[in-house]
Structure 1
Amino acid sequence: MPNDNVIKMEHGAGGEPMQALIRDLILNNITGRSAGLVGLDDLDDGATINISSIIENNNNNGNSNDNSNCNNPGEIVVTTDSHVIKPAFFPDSNIGRLAVSGTVNDLAVMGAEPLALTCAMIVPEGFELSSFEKIVRSMSEAAEEVDVPIITGDTKTVERNGLDSIIINTTGIGIANEVIRDCGLCTGDKIILTGTIGDHGISLLAHREGFELTTDLVSDVAPLWNMLKDVVQIRTIEGKPAISAMKDPTRGGLAGTLNEMAQKSGTGILIEQNDLPIKKSVASACEMLGIDPLEVANEGKAVICVKAEHAEEVLAILREHEYGKDAAIIGEATEENLGKVLMRTPIGSMRYVDPPTGDLIPRIC
């Protein structure tokens, strides 16, 4: 009989079981969770530390540095992630590039410029030194791409039978003048997807299981800050950010991300199936395997919610970049079906896009 009193694979898959684990067992047992605008309770891509409060506390404690010119110094943004992908090498990439990209992207979708990364690696006995070196070089290359240094780290080894592959944890520190929240979606906002969905998850699954599908199935792993840094600077006529919310659709895929944004913001979301960018090879593989591409993980895409009058401007900026050439407006936030995501199919019918409930493809990131 199934044991409901133990951790299962679906508890780390990004869907409802993981959200329940975090809500019921983690948040209920950790106190003192906020140091800035965004804290652990918010379950955003990261959390923040208010710089103004630090300056004020220093002044109150007798540190007399003149901070009179510090006009809105912003918020420090911190995020951390552990990467357990199997295998460590997959089409067109490896766990090293994944670790750096994932952490950079968690900062970027909160509107934060990456300042520095840390890295901790746990390596099993018997892991090939040549493979280890390739992973480290990939980390360096990804970090250099967005000009962020890896400033400190830690390495541990465990017995051969204690771990089946390398595990990497990366923590990112960034700074944002105005933090972008994943709960900021407003009625009327347009929803932009920066590229094709399902590339990472399907390419990894095909590689891992030995499926002979097609040669263009490769991971989309990429650090997105260079593409997003101009987008987060766009302002409305009133001088407010044009971007209402952002999130990268990793575990749980687009379905998980949109449902989380709808639930947190209290709006409805309507997307158009005809407008979803998806490669034919990915769509064919998903159909053959019985997988919903909306639930497949991505590692080089972002969901951007933007004021309608700025949607085309944002789209044009994204399409100028290599990682955004397939960007598309896929839907909008509505006043109907609050907290839910609906999709209009090619024949005009509607269906709910539910959050994932299981572990579609384990060890995906």
Structure 2
Amino acid sequence: MNDRLGRLRDTTINLAHGSGGRAMRELIEDVFVMAFDNPALAALEDQAVFPLADLVRHGDRLAFTTDSYVVDPLFFPGGDIGTLAVSGTVNDLAMSGAKPLFLSCGMVIEEGLAVDILRRVAASMQRVAIEAGVSIVTGDTKVVERGCADKLFVNTAGVGVVPAGVSISARRAQAGDVVIVNGFLGDHGTAILVARQQLALQSDIESDCAPLASLVAAMLDTREDIHCMRDATRGGVATVLNEFALSSGVAIRIHEAALPIREEVKGACEILGLDPLYLANEGKLVAVVPAHAAERVLAAMHAHPAGRHAGVIGEVVAQPAGIVVLHTGFGGQRIVDMLVGEQLPRIC
């Protein structure tokens, strides 16, 4: 362990921590290097370097993604901006079937933020990284003047490897396929509402924020042909299904009675005039698989903690192309369009 660790004495962030000098190095070493603790990061180079041979062992194509996180508040029931950042980037990689391997971490910090908040966020990131089997190997820190940002923004980029023979794409949905989700919808959006004190609920509902790479690996281990897969974050399940329908030139029918939504989430949506199909999730995926493969894929999901409540919510049909239709509990139908505007800002 670097003998410079533990030298940071400041309790709040100041502009010197982004200056590129001694204060910045002490912050990086004492907060981030200590938390993430791996040889690639500890070298403190401007980049992380790893042998290509180690990547090729996992597959034949590279997956690369990036995302930024500006959630308000930083801490919420079931997670925080750190768990969100690692889970979200890991999940974006996993939705291609890739094995996530390495992440970067960039932080934009507002002057005056308590150093202990950074330590908590970094600890959360490392906990989820260990759970997901990834390493945070490089990063960047910027400090902006008080009032120029809202406490803390985080960017994470991720690298993974797609196994040979895996081909998952929004363009592959076919008539006769079925649509699967891995559990309750809308928990994250509702948890954020509660954390913002915009909603007084007599419940302990928490965000579903979680890395899904091991669940996806279990699904792929069935050797069934998974056509489409995407995590239902901003815009919710409705937006994901519209993306599938438009990209594949098919129609998707879903059934209200089959949607796994907690009563607390339904109640919150009724009070606020929201639609749970558009609420953000941070630990839920939508998969499209051939009907004959559904039983085996669901069995694998049910055996995994993140898929215990998985189920079929609909099916793919040929027409009308590019449209998602909900069959309601009253026997009617309505078109489920892509989200227009923003139901809940700064949800992730």
Mark yes or no: TM-score above 0.5: yes
Calculate the TM-score normalised by the size of structure 1: 0.78
| Unpaired runs of at least 5, structure 1 | 1-54, 56-64, 237-241
Alignment of 1:168 onto 2:151 = no
The answer to whether the Cα contact below 8 Å between 1:263 and 1:339 also exists between their aligned partners in 2 is yes
The answer to whether the Cα contact below 8 Å between 1:117 and 1:150 also exists between their aligned partners in 2 is yes
Identity %: 44
The answer to whether the Cα contact below 8 Å between 1:112 and 1:179 also exists between their aligned partners in 2 is no
The answer to whether the Cα contact below 8 Å between 1:75 and 1:179 also exists between their aligned partners in 2 is no
Q: What is residue 127 of structure 1 aligned with on the other side?
A: 113
In structure 2, distance between residues paired with 1:294 and 1:72: 35
Q: What is residue 215 of structure 1 aligned with on the other side?
A: 203
The answer to whether the Cα contact below 8 Å between 2:218 and 2:301 also exists between their aligned partners in 1 is no
Alignment of 1:318 onto 2:306 = no
What SS does structure 1 have at the residue aligned with 2:265? helix
What SS does structure 2 have at the residue aligned with 1:161? coil
The answer to whether the Cα contact below 8 Å between 1:189 and 1:333 also exists between their aligned partners in 2 is yes
Q: What is residue 213 of structure 2 aligned with on the other side?
A: 225
Alignment of 1:359 onto 2:342 = yes
The answer to whether the Cα contact below 8 Å between 2:184 and 2:260 also exists between their aligned partners in 1 is yes
Match runs of 1:229-268 below 5 Å: 229-236=217-224, 242-268=225-251
By how many angstroms is 1:319 displaced? 1.3
Which one of the candidate residues 118, 139, 143 is aligned to 2:125?
139
Residues 234 and 320 of structure 1, relative CA distance in 2, 3 Å threshold: closer
* Cα deviation digits, residues 33-67 of structure 1 (max 9, x gap): xxxxxxxxxxxxxxxxxxxxxx9xxxxxxxxx9xx
The answer to whether the Cα contact below 8 Å between 2:58 and 2:99 also exists between their aligned partners in 1 is no
By how many angstroms is 1:217 displaced? 1.6
Match runs of 1:280-295 below 5 Å: 280-295=263-278
What SS does structure 2 have at the residue aligned with 1:121? strand
Q: What amino acid is the match of 2:194? A: A
By how many angstroms is 1:164 displaced? 1.3
Q: What is residue 274 of structure 1 aligned with on the other side?
A: 257
What SS does structure 2 have at the residue aligned with 1:283? helix
Match runs of 1:1-365 below 5 Å: 73-177=59-163, 178-236=166-224, 242-365=225-348
How large is the RMSD of aligned CA atoms in angstroms?
1.7
In structure 1, distance between residues paired with 2:223 and 2:115: 49
In structure 2, distance between residues paired with 1:72 and 1:155: 31
* Cα deviation digits, residues 135-166 of structure 1 (max 9, x gap): 00000000000111111111111111111120
In structure 2, distance between residues paired with 1:72 and 1:226: 14
By how many angstroms is 1:92 displaced? 1.8
Calculate the TM-score normalised by the size of structure 2: 0.81
In structure 2, distance between residues paired with 1:293 and 1:97: 23
In structure 2, distance between residues paired with 1:355 and 1:280: 24
